[in-house]
Structure 1
Amino acid sequence: MTVVKAADRLKDRYEVRRPIARSGMGEVWEARDTQLDRTVIVKTINPGRFTVDLLRRFRREARLTARLDHPGVPAVFDLDSHDGEPYLVLQRIEGIPLTDLIAGQDELPIARVCSIGAQISSVLLAAHRIGLVHRDLKPGNVMVERNGAVKVLDFGVAVIDDDERYSRITRTGEGPGTVGYMAPEQIDGAATDHRTDLYGLGGVLFDLLTGQPPFGDATTMTTVRRQLGSPPPRPSLLRPQIPEALDDLVYTLLALHPDDRPADAAEVYEVLAALADDPPPIPGVISDELDPVRAYAAVVGRQPVRHGIAPNTTGGLPDRVAEADQQFAQGNVRVAARLWRELADEYANDHPLSIEYRLRAARAHVAAGERDRALRQFEAVLADLARADGAKHPRAQTLRAEIEQLRYGAP
């Protein structure tokens, strides 16, 4: 088996130009598709590491990526071999990995972080609808283009739940993810599902918001110990101006147990999309110039989205209250909580409607099993009630009893 090199012509079509990246497993090359006259990416396996299992994993990555039809995933153009060496031809992405974006900025704008996170969430939503779990979501596997569009890369350790062939393939000595972003159930060798990717997204968001990974430590062992033995970190401890909704989201995404994480990517998208308005450009990285892709997406984004995919920001107060009530009745309690918080934000904290909607939101978090989050919100309302009516007012006393019941289970 030979090594692909510059000036090689694969299948008398792809003219190899220059290496872009190398790892122990293989190489990534820039090439030109001479038939269609376009630049593409060619991925190869390192011949020195070639095994039958690695070949199967390589082909699996191609097939899984091809099955995921989403603008946030590079298109797969071809899968073939050259002198016995397999290669994969992918869409060329003009951008930088999030690792470089984080390293090159002192502090990323929160709206830009939410824009990136919302786009990743939409990719996960598409992946999870076909039963695909990425299992290695981290800053190095996400790229952002100059127009702000995000691409999720490297489905090499992904699994899909309708084909056991993919799940049984060994990983040739590699772990099924990256320490620090790998969910606890992956570390323990337990079953994974879509909530495993939500954990990875939480790690990516934490890194984007704070400039450092959530569980970074001096050694792999101490990092793993922190992941398995410590409460999830809150990004607001490093960056206090982070909105509460975003801080709570990252905290729950990094929950030790999958059941304590958000239910699905749609729920995560809703929170992030609501905070992603008008993300500022990043000089030299993300432009604010008119771009064809951005112009197209802006119009598509004006279409109404239903069934819990996007927040309802239109309509009068009765309609919005009714929507929150309906979401709660349908069991979408976190969606309802967010809608009630949005309604509350339109009034002063001590306004009766603000207090009512905030209490509804807190009770929705109780229904979602998010006791600590609910307690924080109840206590904030209690403080506003005490300032407005006095600590001994019947409403304040009733709420205080409710808090005690939640905290201690007292009658």
Structure 2
Amino acid sequence: MAKAHEQYELTNQLGKGGMGEVWLAFDKHLDRKVAVKFMSSPATARSLPTAQARFRREARTTARLEHPGVPTVYDVGIDGESRMFVVMQYVPGRTLAKVLKKHGRFPVSWAASAAAQICEVLTYAHGLGVIHRDLKPANLMLTPTGSIKVLDFGIAAALEPEPGPALTGTGVVTGTPGFVAPEQVISQQASPRSDLYALGCVLYELLAGVPPFTSETPMGLLYLHAKEKPQPLSERCPHLPSELADLVMRLLAKLPADRPESAEEVSALVAAWIDWPEAHPGVAVESAPAPDEYNPTMPYTRKFAARHRVVAAEPEQPHVAPPADVIAAAPATAEPGAGSGAGSGADPRRARIDELASNGRFTQAAELLGELLLERGEGLDPVDPTYVADRLTLLGYHRAAGQLRPALEGYTRLGAELAAVRPATDSQALACRLGIARCLRESGRTTEALVAYEELLPLQRRAFGPAAQDTLSTRYEIAVLHAGAGSVALARQQLATLRDDQHAALASGDPAHELVARLLVRLERLSPN
């Protein structure tokens, strides 16, 4: 066994799928069972370093989620064969996929209880800016006590293709084709409401015993999720409460804005059916699980369950991993670490800050730079260009660490200070506007992000020119957001114009050409007319 695994003795394989394989292992140092998940390697050696860096960032995402419905992450690493692995809490139980396969569709009370527990986890995660991206029955573990554990947070993002749309003839897209939201198919943009769409797919299958769409090919499934409406659940299962069937169909709305606003809202709605009096319609009584085990209503119906149910406290400063484009595709005006050396003098902490940032340890870099700026800030003009450069760097670290709330507040505050004394086309003022737009996009606030980018674009044109990289990048982001919001024809028109302008302005080998071309191919396949 490779040196990285000397602490863990693999015993038997628990599962294997497209994203990797899971082993039951024994932690020899701490004398406990653990689960070790090995990630599938990228298709090319050239993309391996990027994949490994993304994997480490996404593993930190899960490690910072402190909720009883999310397995604890203990360790992460890369073995001697360049396989990425994560060591996590071993959770005994059965996935909802296996329960469905063995027993068929769930009773209403079971499905509602499972959905309520999933929504508790999503409410917590979405509050921290963390999106699952691959919610499905195989990632939902039902324990013997009836608790639901949501597995594989961050795994889909860690294994996604290079930044930018990457749909090919084999259907490469972040997430599982049978549970992926339309906006993920079309523009590869995910938001909290993308998880709600996946939850709708899960609920549909729990209640009907079959998924909302089936196809012989992954590409066929992606097309159906992007373009077609599923058979109404009320037609497939007329015995269901009509309000519950309607809720599931709202979750499956093509446009994110037409879905429920939040997981918290869904949780409140499904609570009405947790004690629904219904026998299991899909299985014989003798084949159903015993009522005192693997019953998702148990956390709600057990004596004193409400008194003892554990709810995770939200940390004061949420930490999540950065989206892939933070490092790989961000224009220089907002690159994390771009201004950390400004006005540095001889302070040795600067080198440490740069080292932390270069290793992706943005939370520590932000903490150290914040302390340094606090010391320097007394008596200093808050809009001094050198000091502003450091403030922008600090906000970039917050954003890269996934601390979107303080980053957004900081960009907004600094932008207002600069607007009072500088022209709107000032480069640092524009960096604030760009930071605001990105924070909104990464928080899933798509409509607000689109407005922010569209207000930024004319200012960039005036400041940098229509052929500048920052201007072209903003045009790409606007097209992506339009595509994700369902305005596919408009997005295709914008991308076609952008493609021509980029060919005239950029070198032939610039990666921006491939980003635009690949998204155009994706949209043309999904909307050929």
Structure 2: gaps (5+ residues):
281-287, 312-529
Aligned partner of 1:13 in structure 2 is 7
Distance 2:90 2:276 in 1: 27
Aligned partner of 2:65 in structure 1 is 68
Distance 1:237 1:75 in 2: 41
Distance 1:11 1:222 in 2: 40
Question: Residue 56 of structure 1: which of 40, 46, 53 is its match?
Answer: 53
Distance 1:250 1:289 in 2: 19
When residues 230 and 45 of structure 1 are mapped into structure 2, their CA distance, relative to the original with a 3 A threshold, is closer
Say whether the 8 Å CA contact 1:57–1:171 is kept in structure 2: no
How much has 1:142 moved relative to structure 2?
Answer: 1.1
Distance 1:137 1:289 in 2: 20
Say whether the 8 Å CA contact 2:147–2:296 is kept in structure 1: no
Is 1:186 matched with 2:192? no
| Structure 1 residues 138-197: Cα deviation after superposition (integer angstroms, max 9, x where no partner) | 11111111111111112245569xxxxx99499898411122311110110153211110
Aligned partner of 1:140 in structure 2 is 138
2:289 corresponds to which letter in structure 1? Answer: P
Q: Which moved more, 1:144-153 or 1:230-239?
A: 230-239
When residues 89 and 294 of structure 1 are mapped into structure 2, their CA distance, relative to the original with a 3 A threshold, is farther
Aligned partner of 1:218 in structure 2 is 216
Taking structure 2 as the reference length, the TM-score comes to 0.49
Pairing of 1:79-158 with structure 2 (within 5 A)? 79-83=76-80, 85=82, 86-157=84-155
When residues 296 and 26 of structure 1 are mapped into structure 2, their CA distance, relative to the original with a 3 A threshold, is farther
When residues 169 and 227 of structure 1 are mapped into structure 2, their CA distance, relative to the original with a 3 A threshold, is closer
2:23 corresponds to which letter in structure 1? Answer: W
1:68 corresponds to which letter in structure 2? Answer: L
Aligned partner of 2:271 in structure 1 is 273
Q: Which has the higher helix share?
A: 2
| Structure 1 residues 94-141: Cα deviation after superposition (integer angstroms, max 9, x where no partner) | 111111111111331110011111111111101110111111111111
How much has 1:231 moved relative to structure 2?
Answer: 3.0
What is the aligned residue count? 292
| Structure 1 residues 267-312: Cα deviation after superposition (integer angstroms, max 9, x where no partner) | 1000112211389895166169999x96775323599xxxxxxxxx
| Structure 1 residues 182-230: Cα deviation after superposition (integer angstroms, max 9, x where no partner) | 1110110153211110000000000000111111233334433433333
Distance 1:221 1:289 in 2: 36
Distance 1:301 1:259 in 2: 32
Secondary structure, counterpart of 1:195 in structure 2: helix
Question: Residue 299 of structure 1: which of 307, 315, 324 is its match?
Answer: 307
Distance 2:27 2:63 in 1: 18
Question: Residue 283 of structure 1: which of 263, 276, 289 is its match?
Answer: 289
Is 1:37 matched with 2:35? no
Q: Which moved more, 1:146-155 or 1:272-281?
A: 272-281
Distance 2:297 2:236 in 1: 32
2:205 corresponds to which letter in structure 1? Answer: D
Distance 1:241 1:80 in 2: 49
2:38 corresponds to which letter in structure 1? Answer: T
Is 1:28 matched with 2:22? yes
Question: Identity of counterpart residues, as a percentage?
Answer: 39
Say whether the 8 Å CA contact 2:12–2:25 is kept in structure 1: yes
When residues 236 and 10 of structure 1 are mapped into structure 2, their CA distance, relative to the original with a 3 A threshold, is same
- Select the structure with the greater relative contact order (CA < 8 A; seq sep ≥ 6): 2
1:182 corresponds to which letter in structure 2? Answer: V
Secondary structure, counterpart of 1:180 in structure 2: helix
Aligned partner of 2:201 in structure 1 is 203
How much has 1:265 moved relative to structure 2?
Answer: 0.6
Secondary structure, counterpart of 1:255 in structure 2: coil
